[in-house]
Structure 1
Amino acid sequence: MSAYNFGPNHPMSPKRLELTARLARELGIFDLPQVRVLESFVADDDALATVHSRAYIAAVRRVGADPTLSDPGRGLGTEDDPAFAGMHEAGARLAGASLIAADTLISGAAVRAVNFGGGMHHASREKASGFCIYNDVAMAVMRLLDSGVSRIAYIDIDAHHGDGTQNAFWDDPRVLTISLHESGLTLFPGTGFANEIGGPGAEGSAVNVALPAGTSDAGWLRAFHAIVPPLVKAFGPEVIVSQHGCDSHREDELTHLNTSVDAQREAALSVATLADAVCDGRWIALGGGGYSIVNVVPRVWSHLMAIAAGKPVPLRTAVPPSWRDHVREHYGREAPLFMGEDADTWWRSWEVGYNPADAVDRSVMATRKAVFPLYGLDPWFD
């Protein structure tokens, strides 16, 4: 999985995957009796072609075989997505893991699955974008649909708008895509506004909450709870797929949001609760962005895996000393002492009322007004 590597100076370092796996292992998450760790595989062209054009797949193969043959028109060999040897195999292996996640749910071998190496939500049918080569998210959703699943809710809490996945299902009323992200006015990819609600015949299938820069835990969680649970419950999916990019954290250098590890853990708990309430627990959780590779990413995604396994790690749990020693020895950094940050994650329920003077509330209300009536919900009260 760590072969997905754009180079030593690129923000998306594969070290974040190594550190996450190591932390989860040392916390005992992989040893829980209800957990199986499965090896990924390189997805074949037929699987990739459920989301991407064969011409694009061929271009990725060509550039991966000879990185001097960059194809900027297809997003290959750009500043965001530099060409590297083995690019096709590396991207297809991340996608393969998400396909395994889908297949385990389809077969009934598992109810929940996590691929923290996935979540590549910017890749489009014909183009790489935003560090994403193949859109494993859309591929997993397509695999579920092709198996006969009739309704899927996709929840994206990455700081960046999940544009590639939204666009893949823009005209498909079977898939509800909800993206909670920093406004495109201040952050890549510059999309994801409240008026993006899906194509003809699929109005309301795309939902976007464009949060103002600087939004902290209270506003972020208020927005999440004001939008996600009521819409998912009204939609009634058979499976939830979620993307847990953790770049909304206040330490992340690529974004301008202000959340904590604690808030992101709270959001994961809420997705798990929602899956139990609406689709008998069926839930696929994926990674995504996140560029604070020591302090944030390993803790957030270890919490995600523990929650999916039904054994949440308490926030005051000590980070294993052996993991902290590894970080000190190999990265020259002092790692966090605890699995949480003692953050105040209190948030105001929408039931207490809408505050037009609050920028977060204005963003939430814009989304509720655009979409809630399409589900028979009152944007002011439901």
Structure 2
Amino acid sequence: MSGRAQLMWDEAVTGYDFGPGHPMDPVRLALTMRLVEAFELDRALRVTAARPAGESTLRLVHRADYIAAVRAASAHPEAADGSYGLGTEDVPAFAGMHDAAALIAGQSVGAAEAVWRGEALHAVNFAGGLHHAMPGGASGFCVYNDAALAVARLLELGAERVVYVDVDVHHGDGVQAAFWEDPRVLTISLHEHPRTLFPQTGWPEETGAPGAEGSAVNVALPAGTGDAGWLRAFHAVVPELVAAFRPQVLVTQHGADTHFEDPLAHLAVSVDAQRLVAEACHALAHEHTGGRWVALGGGGYAVVDVVPRSWTHLVAVAAGRPLPPGSAVPEEWRAEVFRRTRQLGPLRMTDGRTLEWRDFDDHGYDPADRLDQAILAARRAVFPAHGLLP
């Protein structure tokens, strides 16, 4: 195994563009890559591009009739009428949609292949993480589910146990659905409670189909959860389950929309905490999978202040060159931000937060605390299936 990290990047992924005014502005991808370059992280890992996912690859997760519908909507977006979730307010059809979505999917599949074959120890595709797409339909800004496709490709290549950890503010419903009946895949999602946020799924009682009990894990966090609670929940659930499952590969999704500035959700997490979770996932990979780690992006709609910083930290961690939180943002990047958006970019790679949290095992729990109730609900639902005490 080479030990080198790999960053999947093709400028054409910015063609995944639902048009003016849509929250998923592809400028967030371009600005992230420019920030990666401004810190010269592209010299610390291999930057490469994979081919778009072909029909047979897409069929690992998606139905043939749905793929055909995407192709049709891509060719004639004006005719998309909401069928298969295409042509809606969330997923407007646009010319070239199939090609752009398949290209993003191809980068995540390529990342998985590189890690499994030993061509890279870690691989990042921050354009990916489109975790809401279902086998037979688009949803939540997502056309093809590149995260599920990456996991499915790992299984096709011979992986017997894969853990997927999703820390996006929204439930990773499409990935959970894809592997609901598959005991080879453990999906863990930390997200805002479904009572208050799309897609209104991800209850702790969702634990997998008969024969795959305990293979789906859902930590439904109360709205308003901040750094200390988010980190407490992550460390109270994820490390023990990863250790018990003994995966051969770790796939993680790092949606930046948990941030307190994100306009579409209600958590209060900082870039500093997001960086710590990236570091924790990196450590879990080295501890349990021989370092095999595929890291994806996801949601995130504060496209200047948050997303580029969060995912640049992710790339830096994967590259083995973590950035000190207080690092000044390069001035040439801030000039690029203003040129593209007429906004002022952030000055530093930190939100200035001091990160402390109470460890669940060391400090016990408060049965009257809503966060601890969420943690306990998840542990009680799935820990016994893995031989763990809740």
SS at match of 1:93: helix
The corresponding residue for 2:370 is 359
The corresponding residue for 2:211 is 201
Q: Choose the corresponding residue for 1:49, options 40, 52, 59.
A: 59
SS at match of 1:91: helix
CA distance in structure 2 between the partners assigned to 1:343 and 1:90 by the alignment? 37
After TM superposition, give the deviation of residue 99 of structure 1 in Å: 1.0
Q: Is residue 40–residue 94 contact of structure 1 (8 Å, CA) maintained in 2?
A: no
Q: Choose the corresponding residue for 2:88, options 73, 78, 85.
A: 78
Q: Is residue 116–residue 292 contact of structure 2 (8 Å, CA) maintained in 1?
A: no
Q: Choose the corresponding residue for 1:219, options 224, 229, 250.
A: 229
After TM superposition, give the deviation of residue 76 of structure 1 in Å: 0.2
After TM superposition, give the deviation of residue 356 of structure 1 in Å: 1.2
Q: Choose the corresponding residue for 2:43, options 31, 51, 66.
A: 31
The corresponding residue for 1:5 is 17
Between stretches 353-362 and 324-333, larger displacement belongs to 324-333
CA distance in structure 2 between the partners assigned to 1:217 and 1:105 by the alignment? 31
Q: Is residue 187–residue 216 contact of structure 2 (8 Å, CA) maintained in 1?
A: yes
CA distance in structure 1 between the partners assigned to 2:338 and 2:106 by the alignment? 33
1:125 paired with 2:135, answer yes
Give the TM-score normalised by the residue count of structure 1: 0.98
After TM superposition, give the deviation of residue 71 of structure 1 in Å: 3.9
CA deviation digits over 1:253-301, x for unaligned, max 9? 0000000000000000000000000011100000000000110000000
CA deviation digits over 1:8-36, x for unaligned, max 9? 1100000000000000001011011xx11
The corresponding residue for 1:232 is 242
Between stretches 147-156 and 325-334, larger displacement belongs to 325-334
How many aligned residue pairs are there? 377
Q: Choose the corresponding residue for 1:268, options 262, 278, 301.
A: 278
After TM superposition, give the deviation of residue 41 of structure 1 in Å: 2.1
Which residue identity is paired with 1:324? R
Q: Choose the corresponding residue for 1:344, options 354, 375, 382.
A: 354
CA deviation digits over 1:200-254, x for unaligned, max 9? 0000000000000000000000000000000010101000000000100000000
CA deviation digits over 1:76-135, x for unaligned, max 9? 000000010001001000000011101111221111100000001000011000000000
CA deviation digits over 1:355-378, x for unaligned, max 9? 112110000000111111111111
Deviating beyond 6 angstroms after TM superposition, the runs of 4 or more aligned structure 1 residues are none
Q: Choose the corresponding residue for 1:166, options 171, 176, 189.
A: 176
CA distance in structure 2 between the partners assigned to 1:204 and 1:346 by the alignment? 30
- Return 5+ residue gaps in structure 2 as ranges: 1-12
SS at match of 2:310: helix
The corresponding residue for 1:289 is 299
Which residue identity is paired with 2:160? S
Equivalences for residues 112-191 of structure 1 within 5 A: 112-191=122-201
Between stretches 144-153 and 338-347, larger displacement belongs to 338-347
Which residue identity is paired with 2:182? D
SS at match of 1:122: coil
Which residue identity is paired with 1:233? A
CA distance in structure 2 between the partners assigned to 1:8 and 1:215 by the alignment? 31
1:40 paired with 2:31, answer no
After TM superposition, give the deviation of residue 186 of structure 1 in Å: 0.2
The corresponding residue for 1:376 is 387
Between stretches 326-335 and 253-262, larger displacement belongs to 326-335
The corresponding residue for 2:319 is 309
1:20 paired with 2:19, answer no
- Percent identity, please: 56
Q: Choose the corresponding residue for 1:279, options 289, 293, 306.
A: 289
SS at match of 2:47: coil
SS at match of 1:2: helix
CA distance in structure 2 between the partners assigned to 1:22 and 1:240 by the alignment? 27
- Return 5+ residue gaps in structure 1 as ranges: none
CA distance in structure 2 between the partners assigned to 1:87 and 1:330 by the alignment? 23
Give the TM-score normalised by the residue count of structure 2: 0.96
SS at match of 1:226: helix
CA distance in structure 1 between the partners assigned to 2:88 and 2:80 by the alignment? 8
Which residue identity is paired with 2:167? I
